[in-house]
Amino acid sequence: MSLNNLKQVLRLLFKEKRITIINIIGLSVSLACALFMLLWVQQELSYDRFHTERTGSTGSKRISTTPTRSPTM
């Protein structure tokens, strides 16, 4: 971006203060909403990960795919 284009953009932003303020407020609100949605989805996906034997949607326990070892004597 050349220096002349930057000057024109800044001049327009200072000339149209109401539109600039509305645009900045809209951008900040949309970024905040996107951040909150991202945090909410991350929390929902991490829910109940600390349980080793989770139950499925039917309520029955899932069968473990890892074989269990019998104790050796």
2-25 pLDDT tens trace: 899 999 999 998 999 999 999 999
Residue 31: give the domain boundaries.
3-45
Q: Would residue 2 be called left, alpha or beta, if left means φ above 0 and alpha means ψ between -120 and 50 degrees? A: beta
Q: What is the pLDDT of residues 31-69, one digit of tens each?
A: 999 999 999 999 888 876 666 665 555 555 555 566 666
Give the total number of structural domains in the chain. Answer: 1
Beta bridge partners of 61: 55
In a domain, 59, yes or no: no
In a domain, 23, yes or no: yes
The per-residue pLDDT for 29 is 97
Is this model's pTM higher than 0.95 or not? no
In a domain, 34, yes or no: yes
In a domain, 38, yes or no: yes
